[in-house]
Each structure stands twice: as C-alpha cells, then as structure tokens.
Amino acid sequence: MERGDILLRIRDLKIEGRVEDSWLPILKGINLELRRGEVLGLIGESGAGKSTLGLAAMGFVRDGCRFSGGTVEFEGQELTTAHRSVRRSLRSSDIAYVAQSAAASFNPAHKLVDQYAEFPVLRGRMTQAEARADAAKMYARLQLPDPNGIGFRYPHQVSGGQLQRAMTAMAMSCRPKLIIFDEPTTALDVTTQIEVLAAIREVVAEFGTAAIYVTHDLAIVSQMADRVMVLRYGEMVELAETRQMLTTPTEDYTRSLWAVRSFRAPVKAEAAKGAPLISLRDVTASYGKVDVLSDISIDFHAGRTVAVVGESGSGKSTVARVLTGLLPPRRGEVSFDGAALPKVVDQRSKDQLRHVQMIYQMADTALNPKQRLRKIIGRPLAFYLGLSGRALEDRIRDLLAEIELDPDTFIDRFPSELSGGQKQRVGIARALAADPRFIICDEVTSALDQLVAEGILRLLVNLQNERGLGYMFITHDIATVEAIADDVVVMQHGRVVEAGRKEDVLSPPHEPYTELLLSSVPEMDPDWLTRVLDQRQGARASPILPGST
Amino acid sequence: MTAIVRMITIRLALGLVTLWIVSVVIFISVEFLPGDLAEAVLGQSATEATLQAYRDRLGLERPPLERYLVWLSGAWRGDFGVSLVNGQPISDLIAVRLGNTLFLAAMAAMIAIPLALGLGILAALYRNSWFDKTISVSTLSAISFPEFFVAYILVLLFAINVNLFPALANIGIGTPFGERVYNSVLPALTLTLVITAHMMRMTRAAIINLLARPYIEMARLKGASPSRVILHHALPNAVAPIVNVIALNLGYLITGVVIVEVVFVYPGLGQLLVDSVTRRDVPVVQAACLIFAATFILLNLIADVVAVLSDPRLLHPK
C-alpha cells in the first residue's frame, strides 16, 4: 500500500451518450494507469471527453450516458459493473470530486461545515464535533481566512476563490486516496486562481493523495501534473511526463495546442494619433448608491484595439454599459467623433446606435435560439440600413462569407446547429451588419477553446484592418491582450490603474497591481508556480516592491 | 432577523391596504345587486308604507358613503353590525360558522398535506416508474371529477354501501370533539381528494426541477443515496414553491368549499355566504367576503415568510 502501486487502472474504457434515439461514442477505448500519490493531468478541448473520463474514474456516468465497454479498476475493484451501493460507498471515502464551479456545486441550503461533515459522519469516521474541528484544521491548511468561523457561513456568503478551496477541503474530509479535480480554477480570476492552485498542490502533496486534474489550460496542467494525457474526440492522443510533453511533444495535435499562444496581431508601432473615435471623460457611474466607476477617462481610436483588463468586479463591463448608454453615468461625458453622445440609450439616434455595436461573451445566450441565421443577421440590416428583398439577402450572404461560414450551408440554420466558435462568428456578423465604427468585445473568447479562440481573434484583426474598426476588448486573459491589443487599460475597483501602449504597460516597471495581475498569469513552465510563490514570499519579507524584481 | 420583522410589518401594512380596497369593492358590488332588501324580506304583498318604514329603520336610504363609513368603522372594531334578516349580531353568527369552516379545513389539511408531500417526494424519488405514473394518474383523476361527484361517490361507498360514516355532517355548537371529527370524515376526505393532486404535483415538480443542478450531482458524487439526495439536498431548496401551493390550497379550503358544505349540509361559512346572498342580507355578505380576503392575505404572508426562512440567501444577506 505504499506510494508507487497502481491505484487506478482503466482498460479500453468506452462510454456512449444518447443523442435523440441513437448512442454516440464519447470515449473510444481509453487506457490509463494511475499510481498512488501521482497527479495525472487530462487535457483537451471541449468535447474531448476529459470530464467524462474524470467522472468515469469514480464509476460515475452522467444521466444520458452509459458504460459500453472496458473496465475501471480501483484498488482491484471493478467499478463499471459493481453494484450501485459499492460505488457509492467508495465515494468520499476513497475517491472524491472537486467541481468546476464551487458556487454552483455547494448546496445553497446548508452551511459549509455541515457539507464538509456530511460524509465523515455518515460513514462513521468522525462525530459531528470531530468533523467540525477537522474542517477548521483543513480550512487552515488551505489558507482560508478565519478557518474556525468560515465553515459556519452559507456558500453565498463566501467568495468564489474561497469556495473553491473550501470544496477542496471538503473533498479531503475523508482523506480519500484519489481526488478528481474537474477544471477547478476555470471560473476564477488569475489573481485568485494562483492562490487556489498553490493550495491544491500543497494539500495534495501533503496527504499523498493521487489526483486526476482535468483542464483545458496547458499552463495550469504543467504546474499541477506529474504526467499529462492529451485527449481528442474521446481518444488518447499522447501521454508523457509533464516536462517531456512540454519540451518534445510527439503528436502534431499536441504541438498545435502548444502553438496556440503564439498568435500575435501585427504590431502598430506608433502611439494613437488624432482625435479619438469615442471617449469617456471623468465618468462616474453607480448601481444604486455604490460607485462602480470613479472618474474614468479612456480614449478609443479608429483602427486600434484597446484591451480593458482587470478582475471581476473591477468595472470593465460597466465601462461597456456606459458606452452603449445602458447605464447613464452620474457624472462625466461620453463623446463620439468629437460630439457629445446622449447618455441614455433611448435618446440616441439610430445612427449613433448603429456606430457602437457589441459582441458578447456567451454566444449561446446572445443569439435567439428560435431564429435562423438569416433573421439574426438580417434584423440589424433591415433596422439600421433599411435593406430588404434581394439586397438584404445578398448582404447576409456577404456577411456570412466574411465570417468564413459558407452562406449556402449556414443561412437557414438555427444557433443550436452551430459549434461554439461558429456561434461566436455569427455574433460578430450581427455586430458587423450594422456597419459600425466601434465594437465592444466583452470576453468574446473566454468561453471558447484555445484553437477556436485563436480563429476568432484572427477574424477580428482582419476585419479591423479592412474596415478601420475601433475595438474595446474586455478580457481577464493576458494572453489575449498580448495577442490582439494596441493599447491596454488596467482597471481595479472601478478606477484606471494604468493605461498606455501595450508595450509600455506590459513591460516593466509596472504599477504594483499590474505586476500582480501579470505575474499571476500561468506560464507553460512547470516551475512557474513555485517561482512566483517564492518571489511573492520574498517580496513580502523584504521591503523591495514586486515591480523591481 | 430584523429583516424578517421588517418584511412582516410591511406586508401586514400592505395587507391592510389590500383589505381596505377589497372592502370598497365589496361595498360597491353589493350596491349594484339588483333588488331591494325590504322587498326581499317583506315580500311582494307589502305596502309602500311598510317598505318605507323598514328602509328607514335600517338606514337603507342614507347616502352610500355614509353607510360605508359607518360599516367600515364598525368592522375595524370587529363589529359587523346585525343581520338584516334575523337581527342577530353578525360577529356571533360568523364566529360559529368560521369555527366550523376552520375545523373542517384543518382536518382536511392534516390529511392532505402530509399525504401530498409524502407522495410527491416518493414520486420524485421513483420518477418515471410505474409508482410515479400510478400516483399521477390517480391524483389527477381525483381532481378531474367535480367536487359534488366525488362527494356523492364517497357517500355511496362509505355511508350507503358500507355504513361507516354519516352522510350528513351534523354539527352543532355543543357537539363533542370526537363526534365532530367522526361526522366530518366524509367532507374532509372529499376535500383531500380535491386538493392533494395539486400539492403533490408541485412537490414532485419542484424537487425534480432541482435534480439537474450541479450541487445535486455533487451530492451523488459524494456518495449520497437517492433518498438522501432528495430529502437532504433537494427538498430544502424546494420549500418556497411547495409552501406557496400549500397556502393557495389552504385558502381554497377556507373560502371555496361551498359545494362540499352544501352536499354534506355542513354548517360552514360558505353556506352562510350563499344563504345571505339569496336573502339580500348585505352586512353578512360583506363581513364574510372581508374574512375570505383576510384569509388569503394572511396565508400568502405566512407562505412568503416560510419561503424566506427556508432560503439562507434571503435570510442571511452577504
């Protein structure tokens, strides 16, 4: 029973999912061995089957899926054919699960500590009082603030990053031998993510727990995993030690994943010149009595991309709401082409509305599911430009061609018949249809896989070059900023912390907050997390500012 | 906790405003009722002089606003005046009837609510099984029949074919408790059959609605058994919709049971209301309607308070 034995052995595992009346393969014969105390990273794009594989390691398939072949052996116990009660009894005790969104996966009706204590008590390992004491210790290990008190809060009273650590603590409650981490930091800001990653890595190492770490982020997997398995379309592409995988991937697909982050828009050497296309002057805006923007001034120029970065709650999206007139500012001016823009959207003329368009984060919810693409794209053409009949049809087809979707194939499709990337392209076409001069892109790539996201970024850059569009690019992803931005605005707590050309903002010396933000972005170097944590430890100990290291 | 107290206070105040509006509406509608109390009471053969004397005595000729204010100030003090027909104080008349109605409602509720919750939870637990389908079909059939039909079927089965319970709910002021219960079994059963399906379907739907939530999957991944998933993880989050449907049905038990009362000759408030309308006994009608309105307002307030108490997100803001 020592470190190094095989804990989990998966052989030729096949899982199918029901689509209407037929069963389609999700996993097509996966082989996998996991030793005690080992951390295996599962990486792939959405639909690759990595979450399904992670859950299958617990003998679990989601509703509408089924095991259709192969075996999952945990400590010699076959799980796929085992009785439900056998599988249940292993969960929590021997295998635990940490979900992607802790906010959604904690039961809103119970306190954190009660959810922690549920299974240690049910399985007779601890009394309620012992479990509560143990929870406080585990919360302390995961560096949660106020470890004795935080458990008595309800999930909604705790921040996202803390909840994710509390969920890791809960997974540890029975000291399992294996934990499945299913994208545990995907929903977090980079600055929070780094803390959660550090906490998870430490506690897993301390208890010698084996882990399967599911993620789509290469940089993260390289911090967390001893070995990495690349999945695609339900099949294994490659499996290797992490360092080896990073330096010498053998498969083309793996190399293409690794290369994604290399996309760069052509650099515009000179700084922005001339009058801005659209600008904010000393804008203060609030929801109710709380100021969410304080004295913001930002200029956006035609043909340039301004990336607005910051954590959630920093006011990025509020800037977009002020620009579009959805949230009238309490003080300050919004001007377009040198003329003041009415503050409220209802008071803007059709032309003023037409020139400022938006592309949204969730193309899924931003497109009307009951309308065909013809209508989705045709509506702004009819509304703003008064097109109809032949002219309208031709324009819709031109736009589809412009976003690289074949008009004949796609014009009569519903959004549900498109992939995530295609939906986002339709979102772009809808914005372009109004023939705008300025487009607000609100986290447009954050819900997409990296390869797909790169395609979207390329498309946006091409469109900008052809049409001289001004972009405001809201994002929390620094890699995206590096790829596409000309200018960068860093926001925190509703204020502009730093602004300027990308080269100036992203290269030292930095404002302390910018430094924190930049240094929190995971890098594809297995030693990155250790290095950053050491640096921060050092910076805290010595009076030297982080910017000077 | 102070938030709850504030909410209750505000809702009670709003409830009073609603009640006042209802009182105006009731008063105006009664004004529009065709016919005249004096004619109704004294009959067609009455002379113009006797009719006039009767009207004068009851103040029927005074301006409506004045009569409304007199009535309202009385009602505020709990004095609804006297019945125009038999001269009894309405408060006494209604107190007895309301007591009977509440007794029947309580009895039906005590059978129906646990039954509906239990069946709803079991149906959610064994969803789409033969059990679930049987429960759905039988409870839905029960509400598909008109109330009087269900009532007569029960009478036929349990009073005539098998002489278990009385067909008439003979209840008076002095009836001892045990006998009251015994005499009210059939009307209570009828009402149970009428309201169970609604509450049971909502319990089932409210729970099943939550089963796709990530925290339910999490509970399953923690190794919770199906019954624990339903009872411990889903049910506490489904309280609000269930309680609202229960409140609605309790309101129905108090205000909507006229037909059942008539079938079983049960001396409840509903029958009093119907009798008073036919007799043009305006003050009794007004008082009964006001009580019905108050019942609904109070039950909904209770449902909202329970919903808030059941949801930590509302009870403990960030």
- pLDDT value at residue A441: 93
**Tens digit of pLDDT for each residue in B163-199?**
888 888 878 777 888 888 998 999 999 999 989 988 9
Interval B32-40 mean pLDDT: 70
- pLDDT value at residue A269: 62
Contact A92 B220 (CB under 8 A): no
Is pLDDT of B42 > 80? no
Query: What is the identity of the amino acid at A449?
Result: D
Instruction: Enumerate chain B positions whose Cβ falls within 8 A of a Cβ in A.
Output: 213-215, 217-225, 233, 236-237, 310-313, 316, 318
- pLDDT value at residue B204: 94
Residue of A nearest to B312 (CA): A109
Contact A97 B310 (CB under 8 A): no
Torsion A17-A23-A25-A29 (CA) sign: positive
What share of chain A has pLDDT > 70, as a percent? 96
Contact A88 B310 (CB under 8 A): no
**Tens digit of pLDDT for each residue in A505-521?**
888 788 888 888 888 88
Helix axes A252-259, A450-467, angle to 10 degrees: 50
- pLDDT value at residue B81: 77
Is pLDDT of B35 > 70? no
Residues of A in contact with B233 (CB under 8 A): 107, 109
**Residue ranges of A 119-178 with Cβ closer than 8 A to chain B:** 119, 153-154, 156-157
- pLDDT value at residue B126: 92
Q: Which of B214, B233, B312 sits opposite A99 (nearest CB)?
A: B214
Helices (H), A62-159: 84-90, 102-105, 112-122, 128-141
Quickly name the fold that domain B90-315 has: MetI-like fold (1.10.3720)
- pLDDT value at residue A416: 85
Q: Which of B218, B224, B225 sits opposite A99 (nearest CB)?
A: B218
Residues of A in contact with B221 (CB under 8 A): 55, 58, 60, 91, 96-97, 99
- pLDDT value at residue B29: 82
Task: For tokens 């923690």, name the residue.
Answer: B222
**Which residues of chain A register pLDDT less than 50?**
1-2, 543-549
Q: What is the SS3 assignment for A295-325?
A: EEEEEECCCCEEEEECCCCCCHHHHHHHHHC
Contact B312 A60 (CB under 8 A): no
Contact A89 B223 (CB under 8 A): yes
Residue of A nearest to B212 (CA): A63
CA dihedral B5, B9, B10, B11 (to 10 degrees): 100
Q: Which of A373, A370, A372 is nearest to A399 (CA)?
A: A373
B137: confidence class by pLDDT, cuts 50, 70, 90: very high
3-state DSSP assignment of residue A334:
strand
Which structure tokens are listed for B3? 């938030």
Task: Name the residue ranges covered by the structural domains of chain B.
Answer: 90-315
Contact A88 B236 (CB under 8 A): no
Which structure tokens are listed for A279? 């600008």
**Residue ranges of A 69-98 with Cβ closer than 8 A to chain B:** 88-93, 96-97
- pLDDT value at residue A508: 78
DSSP B118-175: HHHHHHHHTTTSHHHHHHHHHHHHHHHS-HHHHHHHHHIIIIIIS--S-SS----TT-
- Of B99 and B32, the structure prediction assigns the larger pLDDT to B99
Task: For tokens 């009455």, name the residue.
Answer: B46
- pLDDT value at residue A1: 45
Q: What are the angstrom distances between the C-alpha of A357 and each of A353, A368, A434?
A: 7, 17, 8
Is pLDDT of B26 > 60? yes
Whether the ω angle into residue A509 lies within 30 degrees of 0, i.e. cis, is: yes
Residues of B in contact with A55 (CB under 8 A): 221
Is pTM, for the whole model, over 0.90?
Answer: no
